[in-house]
Chain A
């Protein structure tokens, strides 16, 4: 076997995974997959959720130990028999997970050295810990105080700390799983700078992402997986956006964003001079004097950088935010004061939050439980919940949204990200909203499910629902919206009509290069 590896590996390649097959209780998650990654490359690994990317990377990262799969893994001509992530770390392979694994109550430095703190006489050497942490952050030109507790950092900063942690572990090969999902445009470009810099230092990066634009911008090579198989590996420069999407979904995709014309009707919701105070800084406004208007059958995008106050605005409007908003909200020309989510549901507003796992779903409960949760009134008969009505409601939604689950009694935690997101949407459709607010509706969702979610949004608009989409994904905002509001530092900085939509226009309002 050792010999095979040497023969199979060219000098230039660092990692070679050959004929990997892995099954979970009889179902093949990986079917004869081979992957080779060149030294110092940024290598994209893409595919829909469930394509097998994570399984493959978990083998490389040591999570699935040697012997639980078929095939060989080699690095620099040597076969690897990894039994744990620790083994992998020792070989220089470090995985940066999608779910942030930092401990909020500990400092940046403590988090960076968690599990391998420098010791002196058997005790933690704090001085050295902080010094080393500072050194690493300086290398990455990150200006973060290593004494700060992680909970005070933005999600973007936390992601960067994760990467710093990986560098600390001496990673020569870094696996990044959806690193940009929680990041804003500015943070993403910063991350890319860091990754390119790491590449210059000879570090190999395997980059898993759903965002195709990023892949074209950043990577050297692309491998596409689908249904547990490796479909193709090509140089990034040889591929087009269109090729990539067709490889991923296995069919030609005519238009990524559904382009049905929708009929815009009368104004259903108006927000007037709306302000929200910052939850911690007294006197500072996180939303500042915003006026917006939403119509029937229209999809309105709300764009802006992270921290622009988009989410805070909408959650304060529906009464879901910690701080109450000041200003007027009109629904069908009637002034309303929505004090809590219950009242906003009764007023016909659905609010799909950005944090699916944190407050969108109850992961330990079933698809049916989650789908009917916001619409219990609709399944109540004689003051008791009616099982028949519930089943009917849930099956209808599962069918309408094409939620892939064998049984509606299965836990939502067993579904893929895209299907989980559809369950959240199902929960809100069950309330039959007149106004549906979606905050980052396709974050962490695979391409196929993305398209389905777009179609659902279009269909809702066609049925006369006023759809409001908060999104940091510019192509999505441009592709889906009939009109876009751009926010910047709590203020409304611009409004763009469909024909004015472009990345440049939106970004100039979002960053303040133009002001309204």
Chain B
């Protein structure tokens, strides 16, 4: 009798653990089902396309944030990276650099990322502070470069490419898919990926095990810069212009997606798949509320509630 009871107990435990570990996936599935019941417009090709398109920029930022969060850090400068990228991409294209503009901006964002990384790894500045500083520095640079006017790049290669489709799928979604695959492999299958989980779990243990903690941290912030930069380019392409008024609050959305996706801000835990779902969970939620005609202020409240629920569900015990 007792054996049966303990057996049942164990099964129940296993189920609860599964539910907790996959909270974001289950919540996402429920949301999809609810959405399709609540609004006939939800499960249409055009709506799905819109949701994917709208959220791919956020999702790319979230993946960048995830890398940094896994090391136990945080990046508050996501929005500023996006602004810098938007302004410089549009500016360089306007100046006639063509495809070189893309390469310039990518290198620029990687360099800025490396700066954050050096501050964190060598100068031992807390990531929160280092990236807070980067946030205002980058924003300042973007404003100075922009000098007030918007730079239109209508009709150039970038908006044409970004606003296009491949096999009927919007290009930003394809870029996101590529990034997703690449980073899923990096995190799961490379020494670097294993290393950053170790650093987030216990940096000292990682160092003693022969992991080059400083190098890995710098790479992480550089990759973050790269991804935020790519997000900015997509945004420039979608807007067909460079403007310093975008990017507000991107870091917070990215953090929300990462946390809802089960990563721990103390580091060492997190998955690209769940982060992606976390990003889309928020996006789909807003989409459904829009379709149902819910105003944007109640939407903000619900968003906050979801974050709290996700964190509670993800907690051990």
The chain A residues found within 8 Å of chain B, CB to CB, are 25-27, 320, 340-342, 345-346, 351, 353, 358-365, 369, 373-374, 376-377, 380, 383-385, 427, 431
Contacts and interface: CB of A to CB of B under 8 A. Distances in A.
Contacts of B197: 365, 369
Contact of B209 (A25, A341, A346, A385): A341
B208 A341 contact: yes
Given A342-B210, A384-B189, 18 more contacts: A25-B6, A26-B7, A340-B212, A341-B207, A341-B208, A359-B202, A359-B205, A360-B208, A362-B198, A362-B202, A373-B209, A373-B211, A374-B209, A374-B210, A376-B194, A383-B190, A385-B188, A431-B210
Contacts of B209: 341, 345, 373-374, 427
Contact of B10 (A26, A351, A364): A26
29 contacts: A25-B13, A26-B5, A27-B6, A340-B212, A341-B207, A341-B209, A342-B210, A342-B211, A345-B209, A345-B210, A359-B202, A361-B205, A362-B201, A362-B268, A363-B202, A364-B201, A364-B268, A364-B269, A365-B198, A365-B201, A365-B268, A369-B198, A373-B206, A374-B209, A376-B194, A376-B195, A377-B191, A385-B189, A385-B193
B248 interface: no
Nearest to A346: B210
Contacts of A374: 209-210
B2 interface: yes
A373 B198 contact: yes
Contacts of A346: 210
A360 B205 contact: yes
Contact of A25 (B9, B185, B189, B194): B9
Nearest to A315: B208
Nearest to B202: A362
Given A26-B9, A26-B10, A362 B208 contact: no
Given A341-B209, A359-B204, A384-B189, A373 B194 contact: yes
A295 to B, nearest CB: 25
A320 B10 contact: no
Nearest to A413: B316
Interface string B23-49: 000000000000000000000000000
Contacts of A320: 207-208
A359 B208 contact: yes
Nearest to B188: A385
A320 B269 CA distance: 26
Interface centre among B7, B194, B207 (most CB of A within 10 A): B194
Given A342-B210, A359-B205, A385 B2 contact: no
A416 to B, nearest CB: 19
Given A380-B191, A385-B190, A362 B205 contact: yes
